[in-house]
Structure 1
Amino acid sequence: MSLLDRKVSPNSLRVFESAARHLSFTAAARELRSTQSAISQQIRALEEQLGLRLFDRVYRGVRLTEPGQSLFASVREGFSLMEKTIEQLQQRHRNPRLNILTDFSLASYWLMPRLPAFRRDHPHIDVRIMTNQGGVDWRGQEADVAIAFCDARTLEDRPRLFHEDVFPVCSPGFLEMHGAIEDPTRLAELPLLTLTADQGQGWLDWPSYFERLAGMAYGESSELIFNNYTLLIQAAIAGQGVGLGWKGLVDDLIERDMLVGLSHLRVATSCGYGLIDVDPSDEAPAKRAFLDWVMANR
């Protein structure tokens, strides 16, 4: 038989928890703004409902029985969990949390430079960034919004942040050392910085880039291989080779003359970064504010 069947009220459990914590009906009465006799009657009624003796009445106080100790441990844990949940809900109402899922590249080179502007406009929203180097799978994640690299089919019914528009990038010093890079043949002879696609990511790699650009097979040259795009870009800035740069991610680095973009060797595809509303049925104001902000600032 459940507690509900026995009609044990939450108030009875609150009275019990207070009395057990203080080991005093009098102290519990003070805390609950009741009387000692009323507390004693409620405890006795609870014991009768449960068919258990919860307290031993001793001189100038009470002592928990073994069943009372077990119940106290569970009730205390339950009330503690409820209080924590209420506090979290109130905090979320005061400062709603927005969970954004994306990859390292987009987070580093597109989102983070723009995020201060969003936070200035919406200082009450707590933003949590969750990153992944591989393809972003937003299903089953604790995310409100995902900014993910998607194929054309996935992007059909979702807002597109920007298309996949790719071109080689290198440092000014590297270009000065190796001379002009006018065509794919010359490019293929240089040290190339490679981003692995261990998790089946759909973005362009060097073989698919050369195939699309010139219909040529990529003959391996001297390479540095990375599983992190941020590290690859740092290597390019340091003059260690040529990397593939995505328009929308490397624009600022080019404007600041940290990288040179070889735009005459550009390749565009139907893929790109899409803005994903993970749960459209959730109309939380914080999420809507971010979605609207992204579309206005893409």
Structure 2
Amino acid sequence: MVGVGGRASPNGLRVFEAAARHLSFTAAARELRSTQSAVSQQVRALEEQLGMPLFERIYRGVRLTEAGQALFAGVQEGFAIIDRTIDRLQDRYRHPHVNILTDFSFAAYWLMPRLPSFRKRHPHIDVRIVTNQGVLDWRTQEVDVAILFCDERTLASGVPRLFPEEVFPVCAPGFLQQHGPIESPERLAELPLLALTADQGQSWLDWPSYFEQLAGIGYMESSELTFNNYTLLIQAAIAGQGIGMGWRGLVDDMLESGMLVGLQELGLRSSRGYGLIDTRPDTSGEAKRALQEWVLACAEETQDKRTVL
């Protein structure tokens, strides 16, 4: 046989796989709803394309040559990979998912308490949350949406701001009864303060910047208890161990429940805040669109509730 050494056609490989599996052109034709002669012609064409015999024609049937056996194993493996890929894609279509990147604080105090309402509204969407406390670079993560604390430049680039940075001291009611009233920055600076580290370059407000912006006074950080996790800091504040810095949007539920008291007359606002970042703007999908719309609606409800209060 003189072959041209060309590439095999997908349809030719499909016909070959059926014929090789049945070791019968007639049985392959029945499976493919074709004719024995058509299967024989397609197998012959494939052999000519490859330049090698794949079957030995024997009495009442065929058998694979050594090359045919090797090709049959490869074709079956390839078809199995295609089948698994199709199953995975169909499963993803039936059960769409969305990956969210955010920090521990936002996930614990804002996202998780509200997430049941999203899952009730969209029970077919799987939500996967990726969290970290340090600087979060969504460009290196396999995520669809990022909800991050953003600086002014990022928010000015068109990223929707969920709510602005509004901070004020928070403490347990018992702590305030013991040390109050706390009506001035000078008095605040004398008390045990709970600090959140920013050793990875985070842009949130710290106590020295707070005192400088609020009253133009220096702060030596001599009475701080320092944490690298905001959740632990808030637990320490609830336990009466000192005064923490509360971010509006994160501590609202604890203020409403009475677990914390906010010294809002000593509050500050900035143009920073949490933003909703579409990490893959060139791709769309039901899950991502639904999640984005829900987050924006929840943020608006938070702002409206704050206005009423």
TM-score, normalised to structure 1, is 0.81
Residues 1:150 and 2:153 aligned together: no
Segment of structure 1 superposing worse, 278-287 or 48-57: 48-57
- 1:295 partnered with 2:301: no
Q: 1:37 to 1:231 in 2, by over 3 A?
A: farther
> Corresponding residue for 2:9?
9
Query: 5+ unaligned residues in a row in structure 2: which ranges?
Result: 300-309
Residue 233 of structure 1 aligns to a residue in which SS?
helix
Determine if contact 2:160/2:275 at 8 Å carries over to the other structure. yes
Local SS of the residue matching 1:115: helix
Q: CA RMSD in A?
A: 3.1
The offset of 1:218, in angstroms, is 1.9
* 1:153-178 CA-partner distances (Å, limit 9, x unpaired): 22123321101001122223333444
CA distance, structure 1, for counterparts of residue 165 and residue 143 of structure 2: 24
Cα distance in 1 between the residues matched to 2:193 and 2:73? 63
Q: 1 CA distance for matches of 2:236 and 2:283?
A: 42
Q: Distance in 2 between matches of 1:147 and 1:95?
A: 23
Residue aligning to 1:172: 173
Contact kept, 8 Å, 1:135 with 1:148, in 2: the verdict is no
Partner-residue secondary structure (3-state), 1:190: coil
Q: Which amino acid aligns with 1:246?
A: W
**SS of the counterpart of 1:139?**
helix
Partner of 2:305: none
Q: Call closer, same or farther: CA 1:55–1:238 in 2, change over 3 Å.
A: farther
Residue 252 of structure 1, CA deviation: 0.2
Q: Is the 8 A contact 1:210 1:217 kept in 2?
A: yes
Structure 1 residue 98 corresponds to structure 2 residue 91: no
- For 2:219, the equivalent position in structure 1 comes to 218
Asked if the contact 2:55–2:62 (Cα under 8 Å) also holds between the matched residues in 1, the reply is no
Other-structure match for 2:306:
none
Q: What residue identity is the alignment partner of 2:13?
A: L
Measure the CA separation in 2 of the matches of 1:286 and 1:88: 17
> Residues 112-161 of structure 1, C-alpha deviation per residue, up to 9 Å, x if partnerless?
11122122222232222222322333335433322221112221233211
Compare 46-55 and 192-201 and name the one that shifted more. Answer: 46-55
CA contact (8 A) 2:208 2:221 kept: no
Query: Per-residue displacement from partner, 1:199-234 (whole Å, max 9, x unpaired)?
Result: 311111122122212222221234333222222222
1:245 to partner: Cα distance: 1.2
CA distance in 2, matches of 1:146, 1:102: 6
Cα distance change on mapping 1:46 and 1:297 into 2, 3 Å: same
- What letter corresponds to residue 114 of structure 1 in structure 2? R
Identity %: 67
Looking at structure 1, the residues matched to 118 and 34 of structure 2 have their Cα atoms a distance apart, in angstroms, of 51
Instruction: Tell me the residue number matched to 1:269.
Output: 270
Count of residues in correspondence between the two structures? 292
Deviations 1:2-55 (A, max 9, x none): xxx8251223323444566x4744776675566777656654543442234556
Deviations 1:241-295 (A, max 9, x none): 3221100011001111222222122111110111223344434333333322222
CA distance in 1, matches of 2:174, 2:30: 78
**Structure 1, unaligned runs of 5 or more:** none
Equivalent position of 1:245 in the other structure = 246
2:164 counterpart letter in structure 1: H
Amino acid at match of 2:174: G
Tell me the TM-score normalised to structure 2 length. 0.79
Question: How many Å separate the matches in 1 of 2:76 and 2:208?
Answer: 62
| Counterparts of 2:277 and 2:218, CA distance in 1 | 35
Single out whichever of 43-52 and 211-220 deviates more from structure 2. 43-52
TM-aligned CA distance change 1:105 to 1:43, over 3 Å: same
- Once residues 107 and 195 of structure 1 are traced to their aligned partners in structure 2, the CA distance between those partners, rounded to angstroms, is 17
Question: Structure 1 residues 226 and 40, CA, compared in 2 at 3 Å: closer, same or farther?
Answer: farther
Aligned counterparts, 1:176-187, within 5 A:
176-187=177-188
Per mean C-alpha deviation after superposition, the further-off stretch among 173-182 and 265-274 is 173-182
State the secondary structure of the residue aligned to 2:138.
Answer: coil
Distance 1:39 1:209, change over 3 A: same
